[in-house]
Structure formats: structure tokens, C-alpha cells
Structure 1
Amino acid sequence: MNWNSYIKSFQNYLKIERGLSKNTIDNYTFDLERLLLFLSQNQIEVSPITIKDETIQQFIYTISKELNARSQARILSGLKSFFNYLIFEDYRTDNPMELIEAPRIGRKLPDTLSLEEIDALISAIDLSKPEGERNRAMLETLYGCGLRVSELVTLKISDLFFDEDFIKITGKGNKQRFVPIANSTKKYIDIYRSTIRNHLQISKNHEDTLFLNRRGKQLTRAMIFTIIKNLAVAINLQKNISPHTLRHSFATHLLENGADLRSIQIMLGHESITTTEIYVHLDKMHLSQIINAFHPRKM
């Protein structure tokens, strides 16, 4: 078997055995393709079974000149998973990544938006354009329900349980959860469906997809990024934001207003509470700002 055969087998394992999403599998594949490119450029002829840690070290040294510590760590994690899979399938008896340490990375606090900034972002949407009502409904859903962008673009009409005030979300690893939805968000989705979506020529296999492009197909993640970036430019927002910023803002605002961490964890679909705990750090920053602004003995 060559590299491509092992990688294909690994992809099937990630999809069938571990139930990972296409985006996650694509990321693992991209990590391996980076390694293959390095081997090709340096004319190193090794297979997944014979490659040694010395070669991996050379690869790491090369990518360290191009990527930051966080990107390096992600690639190393992907490679370690691949070689662990080869051990699991009895192709190898050792993992060449075993003694290789990932670069130290600090815990990055996510950017957030204030409620005023979110209102300004949504108000900048041009509702006179056909996609305006769709974009407003999408941003209201992203922020109002704390969704990942991949969860937004795959949201189905059959996932909407408006009478019960919930929507069903399929998250990472195809794990499902129910998230509360506010009346205002439901209103904007209903407006989009009645004024825009119901008049589209919907492509085959997209009949149940909620948010569609002009061709009646599912929107791409990249398109959501572009929409939000353009709105940020329109209001001269001096922050580097993405769809995930609205998700972070959702969690942060809940915490600031008294929601408990466990409830936020469930709504965000975090497998571990430690992932959600990053918002405690954000909340502490908010409290420090309050002290510095309003306490009579502020420094």
C-alpha cells in the first residue's frame, strides 16, 4: 500500500468508526498532505510504515518557519492520530510522534462583540436586496442560538421545532442537541422563508436545507465568513471577526447575565466543561473592567 491507500483507509476510519464530520476529516487529510509535500520536495522515499521520528523532526523544523505555534500543534495532533491508527490496525508497532513535543501555546481568549456591536452589524444588512432577509435570519440564528458556522449551513427545516421553542442541532461527531430559540429569531426565520426561500428554485437534495444561496443550494462556510466580514467593514468595526465571534458573544453574554456554566456547555454542545470554562476568563475580564471603571478606589 502507498501513502494514498493508507490515508484513504484512515479517512474511512474517521468517518465510520469515529463519526467525525467532513470538515474535521478534511483537516486531518490536509495535515498528511503537508507531510507528503515535504517528503516529495526533499526526495525522501519512505512509507507510513517505515518513516522515522528523525524525518518527522525535519518536517516540524520546516513548518515552524511558516506557521505559528497553534497551527503547528494542530498539524502534530493530526499526524499523531494517523500513526495511532496505523498501530491500531497493526500496520506499525510504534508511533514516530511519541517523543515529539508540540510547541507551547497560550490559551487564546476569543474575541467578542458587545450587544451594540451585534445590533450595528445586523442593522448594516441591506434588506432591499433579495439575500438581505436571509442574512438577517442567519446572523440572528448564529448569535441567538450560539451555533457553529457548520451547524448553521446544515440546519434543516425539519430541525425547527418552533412550537416547542427549540431547534435540533447536529454538531461535531454527528452528536445532536436541542437549543432554545427566541421568538425574535423565529420571527426573522419565518420572514425569510415566506418572502425569499419559498420563491427560490430549490435544487435536488436541498429541499430541507433552511438557508440557501440564489441557486437553491446549501451555502458554504466561506460564504458566511464573507458576509460577516463585509458587514464589519460596512460599520467600520475595528475587530477581526468571524461567524465564531457571534457564538463566543452568545456564551459570554449569557455568563455575564447570570447563566450557569453547565447550561452554556449544553447549549454550545461542548463535550467537556473545560472547553466552556474559557468564558469564565472572559467574564473575569469584564468584572475587572467594571471595577476599574466604577469602584471609588480604582487605580
Structure 2
Amino acid sequence: MAGTITVETLAQALAQFETIGMPARNLATRTRREYVRDLRDVLSYLEHGGTTRLEEVRPRDLEGYLAELDRRGLQGSTRNRKTHTIKTFFKWLVSQELLIRNPALGLIAPRAIKKEPRFLSEDEYRRLLRACSHHARDAAIMELFLQTGMRLSELAHLRLADVELPKRITRDIESMGMVRVQRKGGKIERIPLNYKACQALAAYLKVRPKVDHNGLFVTKFKTCMTARSIEYMVTKYLAETGIQHASVHTLRHTMATHHVAKGTDLKTLQVTLGHESLATTSIYVSLSKHSQKKALQENAL
């Protein structure tokens, strides 16, 4: 029982949150790593100031840590995330009766200035596709990102059994493929694959090495590609094509923005992207309008 556990130090509290709190919340692997990294940083700050016991933490100590983050020059979005992590941590400790009062209750998260998402122009994403067209695996990965808008973590978790390709690949909607993805929180969903994604995957599967695991994408060492290796691959092609200020996630924004510009309805995009709220998907409306204005200005007759 949580109430019978003796937790006196900050280090013990973090250990309990790692082994019980985060698994119970079903947090994604990446989110858990970020939580642990953020909490170790605040604990280091507190311990450096002489606070090692859980009951000794005061609101002013945590306010002092937020001020320290500001002095480090961290962006508002980063400080906002760290504040959220701290509040989640101490709220959980109180809920588990490991702490009587919550010193983080009154913390106010710094305002995060939202930047307009970066997306690739048609010329940029076509250059990207041309650059990797000679490599079946890389071309399949790039098409999956651009045709489905799936997240890096979702693509990295794909297995052979998750992909269903039609016997005959055509532009007919009745011959679309399907892919099963694991969303945030572990939810499994099936999303359609258009003919371009199907063609790229079919070409890759013909040359995919025979290995003793069922990971969809395989490295030259015949191991399953990780999120890090996929990200490295995409970054390499972005550099080769001279596309700046872009990342793997830019491909997701690219898919959504161009689909809105071409008339795809927001509800369809929301389901395909796995957004919980339609408001999240709506940001691509303004992005597509900006793209249209830019095209009209640059391509004036």
C-alpha cells in the first residue's frame, strides 16, 4: 500500500514516482524520460541549497528554481514544461499520502510563446522525396511520414503485421491499404494508406532483409530501426537537400497543411493525425492560408 511506504528524501520520492507514479499514468516512454530529467534537475537544485528531505520543500524553493531557469536563458516553453512536471510530481505525492501539503500548488507556469509550425513547401518536399528515391527503405519511411502524418514514435513502433497492402495498388479508394499505429497512451488505431504510401511500402518489402525480428524497418546491421536512427536518417536528407529549420515533425505539419489547402476536411485530418481535440487540428487552417498567399504572390502572372 502506498500509505505504508516510508519516503523521507527527495531521491526516495523520485524513485517512487518512477516505479509507481509514471507507470500508473501510462505515460509514453519519451514523456517518462523528460519527466525524470526535469525532476533530477530540480532535485539537484534543491539539494545544492541544502534541501534534501521531502517535508522541507517550500513554495519559495520552487519559485527560486523557476527563477534559476530564467537566469539560464531557457525558453518560456521549456520552463512551462518543467513547471508542469514539478506540479504533477508533487500532486502525485500528496495523492499517495507521501506528503501532507503541496508546495507546488501555487506555482504559475511561465507563458509559452507559441511559434508557427514549420512546414515544407511543395518544392521542398518533392526535393526530399527525390533525394531518397534511390533507397527503397528511406523512400518508404519518407512517404509514410508525408502521406499519413504519423508521429516519429508511431512509425518507429511499426511491425510487419501492422501493414496491410492491397493485392493491386491503384488510385481506387476501394484498394487502399491500412496501417495499425499505437497512439499516445497506448491506444491502437487503423489509418488508411493511399496509393503513394502503398507503392513505396511494396517496393521496400520486396528488398527488406530477412531478419529474426518483425520490426518493419531494418538497419544495415539487420536490427530494428529506432526512433533515433529514423530521425538521423531524415535529418541527413534535409541537410543534403538544403532544407533548413526543419525536422521529422515538420513532415507531420507538411502533410496536414497541404491537405487542408487541397480541401481535406478537418475531421478527417483529426482522426488521421490522432488529435484528441479538433482545435489542435485547426491550426493548419491558418498555415494553409499563409501558404496560399505566398504561392499567389510568388507565382504572380
AA aligned to 1:155 is L
Counterpart in the other structure of 1:248? 253
Query: Displacement, 1:287?
Result: 4.4
Give the direction of change, closer, same or farther, for the CA distance of 1:100–1:43 in structure 2 (3 Å limit).
closer
Which of 230, 233, 238 is the equivalent residue of 2:239? 233
Counterpart in the other structure of 1:125? 132
* Structure 1 residue ranges without an equivalent (≥5): none
Q: How does 1:160-179 map to 2 (within 5 A)?
A: 160-163=163-166, 165-179=177-191
Query: Displacement, 1:140?
Result: 0.8
Root-mean-square deviation (CA), in Å? 2.2
Aligned partners of 2:290, 2:54: CA distance in 1, in Å? 46
Give the direction of change, closer, same or farther, for the CA distance of 1:213–1:190 in structure 2 (3 Å limit).
same
TM-score for both structures, normalised by structure 2 = 0.87
Counterpart in the other structure of 2:214? 208
Which of 71, 83, 87 is the equivalent residue of 2:90? 83
Query: Displacement, 1:288?
Result: 4.1
Which of 29, 37, 40 is the equivalent residue of 2:36? 29
AA aligned to 2:83 is L
Q: Specify the SS of the correspondent of 1:244.
A: helix
Give the direction of change, closer, same or farther, for the CA distance of 1:272–1:48 in structure 2 (3 Å limit).
farther
Contact 1:14-1:25 within 8 A present in 2 as well: no
> 2:269 aligned with 1:264, yes or no?
yes
Q: Specify the SS of the correspondent of 2:132.
A: coil
Contact 2:208-2:218 within 8 A present in 1 as well: no
Instruction: Point out the more displaced range, 44-53 or 25-34.
Output: 44-53
Give the direction of change, closer, same or farther, for the CA distance of 1:49–1:169 in structure 2 (3 Å limit).
farther
State the aligned residue count. Answer: 284
Contact 1:15-1:21 within 8 A present in 2 as well: no
Contact 1:121-1:235 within 8 A present in 2 as well: yes
Query: Displacement, 1:43?
Result: 3.8
AA aligned to 1:17 is A
Query: Displacement, 1:30?
Result: 0.9
Aligned partners of 2:56, 2:279: CA distance in 1, in Å? 37
Aligned partners of 1:258, 1:174: CA distance in 2, in Å? 30
TM-score for both structures, normalised by structure 1 = 0.87
AA aligned to 2:165 is F
Q: Specify the SS of the correspondent of 2:214.
A: coil
Query: Displacement, 1:15?
Result: 4.6
> 2:111 aligned with 1:108, yes or no?
no
Query: Displacement, 1:181?
Result: 0.5
Query: Displacement, 1:9?
Result: 2.4
What do the CA deviations read for 1:202-223 (whole angstroms, capped 9, x no partner)? 4xxxx22101222222223222
Query: Displacement, 1:180?
Result: 1.1
Contact 1:151-1:171 within 8 A present in 2 as well: yes
